[in-house]
Amino acid sequence: MRCMEVLNRFLPNENVKSIFDIQPEVLKERGIKGIITDLDNTLVAWDVKNATPEVTQWFESMKSHDIKITIISNNNMERVKVFSDPLGTPYVYSARKPLGRAFKKVANEMELNQDEIVVVGDQLLTDVLGGNSAGFYTILVVPIVQSDAKITQFNRKIERMILNYFKRKGKISWED
């Protein structure tokens, strides 16, 4: 596999500032019926336990447009359950992203085809790589906060190099 082919696995189909830039009407027009989303630094800051009122409203808006949402996170059960249960949203914890098993499991549970699902996340090395490798449309969001859990800090350094490469090549526009 050539270097460019490998790098393109990290290239999201789309990038936006936040989840709030992802509108249910636009998704429906594109035939999207499901969202697989990351939790930490995608929906809320990694150290915030519960959904904000704005996040709750976003989930409700998606559900009112018959768009299914499942949260998949590499975090532990307690973290993901405490966040997801009040939203009535299915979840997968300890997902081992970027491995594709959790993504494919969720697609099966949603009873949707790959082209009817988008994967949303803040990390190239887990969310985008995992979503792309599993054959989904991927949307990268800017991390909510610049601080990260220790495990993620290393990934961010590699991610910055890849993002800078994509910016130089005109393949992505990215704002911190």
| 96 φψ region: left (φ > 0), alpha (ψ -120 to 50), beta (else) | left
Would the pTM of this model clear 0.75, i.e. be above it?
yes
Return the closest-CA partner of residue 143 out of 166, 167, 125: 125
Q: How confident is the model at residue 35 (pLDDT cuts 50, 70, 90)?
A: very high
Band (pLDDT 50/70/90 cuts) for residue 75 is very high
Taking the C-alpha atoms of residue 63 and residue 50, their distance in angstroms, rounded to an integer, is 19
Band (17; pLDDT cuts 50, 70, 90): very high
Q: Are 27 and 14 in contact (CB under 8 A)?
A: no
The strand pairing partners of 69, in sequence order, are: 35
How many helices (H) and strands (E) in the chain? 7, 6
- Which of the 8 DSSP states describes residue 116? G
Enumerate domains of the chain plus CATH numbers.
Answer: 13-145 (3.40.50.1000)
Distance, CA of 76 to CA of 74 (rounded, Å): 7
Residue 3 has pLDDT above 80, yes or no: no
Average pLDDT taken over every residue of the chain: 91
Confidence of residue 170 (pLDDT cuts 50, 70, 90): confident
Cβ neighbour number for residue 24 with a 10 Å cutoff? 17
The confidence score (pLDDT) of residue 149 equals 62
Helices (H), 30-149: 53-64, 77-84, 101-110, 129-133
pLDDT of residue 1: 53
Share of the chain above pLDDT 90, in %: 74
The whole-number pLDDT of residue 152 equals: 67
pLDDT at 150 over 70: no
Q: Which tops the pLDDT comparison, 175 or 19? A: 19
Residue 138: what pLDDT? 97
DSSP state of 88: T
Structure token pair of residue 78: 């307690």
Distances, alpha carbon 38 to alpha carbons 29, 43, 68, 96, 98, in Å: 23, 7, 14, 12, 11
Number of neighbouring beta carbons within 10 Å of residue 31: 9
127 close to 35: Cβ distance less than 8 angstroms: no
